[in-house]
Structure 1
Amino acid sequence: MKITEVTALVTGGCSGLGHATAIALSQAGAKVCLLDMNEALGQQRVEELGTENTLFVRADVRNEDEISSAIRQCQSRFNHIHLCVNCAGIAPAKRILNKENAPAPLQDFQHTIDINLVGSFNVARLVASAMATQSAVNDEGERGVIINTASVAGYEGQIGQTAYAASKAGIIGLTLPMARDLAPLGIRVNTIAPGVMGTPMLLAMPEHVQQALSHNVQFPKRLGLPEEFAKLVIHIAQNAYLNGETIRLDGGLRMPPK
């Protein structure tokens, strides 16, 4: 898949990993549709990336009507959607029992699952439906690529990460069966499982906190860069033989209990 001929839809595209991905795709020549809840920031990102090849749509990944409308707007503006990158998500931390042994509210767990797991599935299924009607982009019959974002917490969830780890493990579990479901249509599905990434939120923390977070990274011994996540997105899009795979992007990190 040639990035210069790609239209990409990026959820959570106005901040963090999604923002870095949108920048890299735009700089590589792709047209980019940003989906996010922050309307003011969305308009700012469009101005930064260029109004000609960038579109912002406010949409909640959990809402079928809003995502369907966003897909239609993207198609109306750019005709096709070749690449979908799901970066929208939340990362709450709460132990199952607090210090008084009271259980965590069930709605907090459900909220995380709804955004991270159900939201990613909702976007993927609706984008896949749009991709299925498109013409193939190459001789192998490829119509599109879907990239979901998991986390190393999906393998090694830490104390207080039950909801987050469960949501990311679910995304890892979706990867192969979703790829198998969509293979006859020429749509590939892969997942990236980042380690501790240097998003603006983490980089704003004191240096000693950043060092503690990167302590268990093998090499290079630092936080991952959002730009490195974006580079992997582009490689997955370009490498037609990558399918049904979850790729750890973590510098050899294996998360300790806390």
Structure 2
Amino acid sequence: MQLKDQAAIVTGGASGLGAATARRLAAQGAKVAVCDLNAKLAEDVAAEIGGIAVICDVSDASSAEAAIAKAAAAHGPARVLVNCAGIGVAKRVIGKDGPMALGDFDKVIKVNLIGSFNMLRLATAPMSKLEPLPTGERGVVISTASVAAYDGQIGQSAYSASKGGIVAMTLPIARELAQFGIRVLTIAPGLFLTPLLANLPQEAQDSLAASIPFPRRLGQADEFASLALHMIDNPYLNGEVVRLDAALRMAPR
């Protein structure tokens, strides 16, 4: 799909992987809605790329509906949705204070898994009614999973479950939306230099990088964005989850 003048929505677009993706989409001529709970950062990224900032809690139905409507009012129905919004909570099932609070598990599932599905269902409904492009496609959805979906570490039960759910729903949704010419894909990144990891001491960053086979460094957000752009551009990619991890396989802890 050629992105020039096409409407795109990026959740979690105010920082990290989402911001990098929003920038790359805009550089290709897309009209980008930067969706995030952090209004200030979303407005900064939107101003930088000539897009719009949309405040959105992806886990909430009414908030997501309002965000989709605001983006459509500004740019028209989206042909591209990239789900980057997500959170992580590192907690053991049985910790020093007893069993993990159910609310901690629930919150991660709601934001990461339900939030991704929520935005997908709302964005693809109007997308399915758009005129098909010369390739026959009407749109593309890319969600963000994690290598933790496959080899999650101790303390990642909630995070791994949420990302595993994203992996598992990719193919059935791709099969369902094929009738509309909408492709559905997922990227499963490994260890990336996002704001969270960037705040770690350099020694900790170096230790994480040492566990990666090649290249032996943390991933760059722009490398995630580059893969997202290739997925959008390649019309034969559909229903697939791509690990972007430099051959990393995480140890139990």
Normalising by the residue count of structure 2, what TM-score does the alignment of the two structures yield? 0.97
Question: 2:168: which partner in 1?
Answer: 173
Aligned partners of 2:10 and 2:194: how far apart in 1? 17
Q: SS state of the match for residue 5, structure 1?
A: coil
Aligned partners of 1:27 and 1:173: how far apart in 2? 32
Q: Which moved more, 1:187-196 or 1:202-211?
A: 202-211
Where structure 1 has 5 or more consecutive residues not aligned to the other structure, the ranges are: none
Residues 123-158 of structure 1: CA deviation (Å, up to 9, x unaligned): 0011110101111122x3200000000000000000
Aligned-pair CA distance for 1:204 = 2.8
Question: 1:122: which partner in 2?
Answer: 118
Aligned partners of 2:195 and 2:73: how far apart in 1? 33
Where structure 2 has 5 or more consecutive residues not aligned to the other structure, the ranges are: none
Amino acid at match of 1:197: F
Give me the identity figure in percent: 48
Aligned partners of 1:99 and 1:77: how far apart in 2? 50
Out of 162, 165, 185, which is 1:190 matched to? 185
Residues 189-241 of structure 1: CA deviation (Å, up to 9, x unaligned): 00000000011221232221011112221110000000000000100000000
Aligned-pair CA distance for 1:19 = 0.6
Q: Displaced runs of 4+ in structure 1, greater than 6 A?
A: none
Contact persistence 1:3–1:234 (CA under 8 A): no
Normalising by the residue count of structure 1, what TM-score does the alignment of the two structures yield? 0.95
Amino acid at match of 2:211: N
Aligned-pair CA distance for 1:174 = 0.6
Out of 198, 207, 224, which is 1:203 matched to? 198
Out of 85, 93, 104, which is 1:108 matched to? 104
Aligned partners of 1:11 and 1:27: how far apart in 2? 17
Q: SS state of the match for residue 148, structure 1?
A: strand
Question: 2:138: which partner in 1?
Answer: 143
Question: 1:80: which partner in 2?
Answer: 77
Aligned partners of 1:71 and 1:203: how far apart in 2? 31
Aligned partners of 2:200 and 2:69: how far apart in 1? 39
Aligned partners of 1:225 and 1:56: how far apart in 2? 24
Contact persistence 2:33–2:46 (CA under 8 A): no
Amino acid at match of 1:118: I
Question: 1:228: which partner in 2?
Answer: 223
Q: SS state of the match for residue 146, structure 1?
A: strand
Aligned-pair CA distance for 1:98 = 1.1
Q: SS state of the match for residue 136, structure 2?
A: coil
Give the CA RMSD over aligned residues. 1.1
Aligned partners of 2:215 and 2:3: how far apart in 1? 28
Question: 1:249: which partner in 2?
Answer: 244
Aligned-pair CA distance for 1:5 = 3.4
Q: SS state of the match for residue 85, structure 1?
A: strand
Contact persistence 1:64–1:122 (CA under 8 A): yes
Aligned partners of 2:246 and 2:40: how far apart in 1? 35
Q: SS state of the match for residue 3, structure 1?
A: coil
